[in-house]
A and B are shown apart, each in its own frame.
Chain A
Amino acid sequence: SAVISQKPSRDICQRGTSLTIQCQVDSQVTMMFWYRQQPGQSLTLIATANQGSEATYESGFVIDKFPISRPNLTFSTLTVSNMSPEDSSIYLCSVDREMTDTQYFGPGTRLTVL
């Protein structure tokens, strides 16, 4: 499995502000993913981030709201922009280790927007 860390682990933010979440992996991976888990709900894929290319967003998610960076093979960031209380969720990154066809998840970032 992969060792994945996320920063911050939790945050409380004011509406209208932006928060950048970092995801760091202990080894190089091609694919990184960002998910949102709204309170009491399941996980929904926001976007897939490959190093060196633009992120691919799922239906219902747009780059202006959730810009993603993937500067190298071990790191990615997700920004939640112009936040509203509806953005209060757990945001999780995951990686697909080479040749495993399995996604391993980071510990998540609990975001509360007031």
Chain B
Amino acid sequence: AQKVTQAQTEISVVEKEDVTLDCVYETRDTTYYLFWYKQPPSGELVFLIRRNSFDEQNEISGRYSWNFQKSNSSFNFNITASQVVDSAVYFCALSEAGTDKLIFGTGTRLQVFP
């Protein structure tokens, strides 16, 4: 069965601190996609990144980076020099190839204080 675990319920940091949001997934498929979404207080869900299971290269986008480690089924999200605007709930999600169903983790609330 598919499952996504985000063990960190809430993280609080002060601006400019680095932070890592953990995501561990379970799937029996060899082909799947992993996602991160951001949900700011407004409620809209913003797509951040998609990774397929065959691409283990880490990705960097400005202050954001993602570390995909297939060997331990993790897809962690790193924020460097956090800013107040990063405050949001972050969801990790999984879908298996051939299906459109997204399985979401329970989310991690990140609060960045000035």
Contacts and interface: CB of A to CB of B under 8 A. Distances in A.
Interface of A: 1, 31, 33, 41-45, 48, 58, 90, 92, 94, 96, 101-108, 110
Contact of A96 (B91, B100, B105, B107): B100
B101 A45 contact: yes
B11 to A, nearest CB: 16
B50 A110 contact: no
Contact of A42 (B42, B46, B47, B104): B104
Interface of B: 33, 35, 37, 42-47, 50, 52, 91, 95, 100-102, 104-107
A58 to B, nearest CB: 8
Contacts of A102: 33, 35, 47, 50
A104 B42 contact: no
Main secondary structure of the interface of A (DSSP, over half): strand
Nearest to A9: B43
Contacts of B52: 101
A106 B100 CA distance: 17
B37 to A, nearest CB: 8
B100 A48 contact: yes
A86 to B, nearest CB: 19
A108 B47 contact: no
A105 B45 contact: yes
A53 to B, nearest CB: 14
Given A105-B44, A108-B43, A45 B102 contact: yes
14 contacts: A31-B100, A33-B102, A42-B105, A43-B45, A43-B104, A45-B102, A96-B100, A102-B33, A103-B100, A105-B44, A106-B44, A107-B42, A107-B43, A108-B43
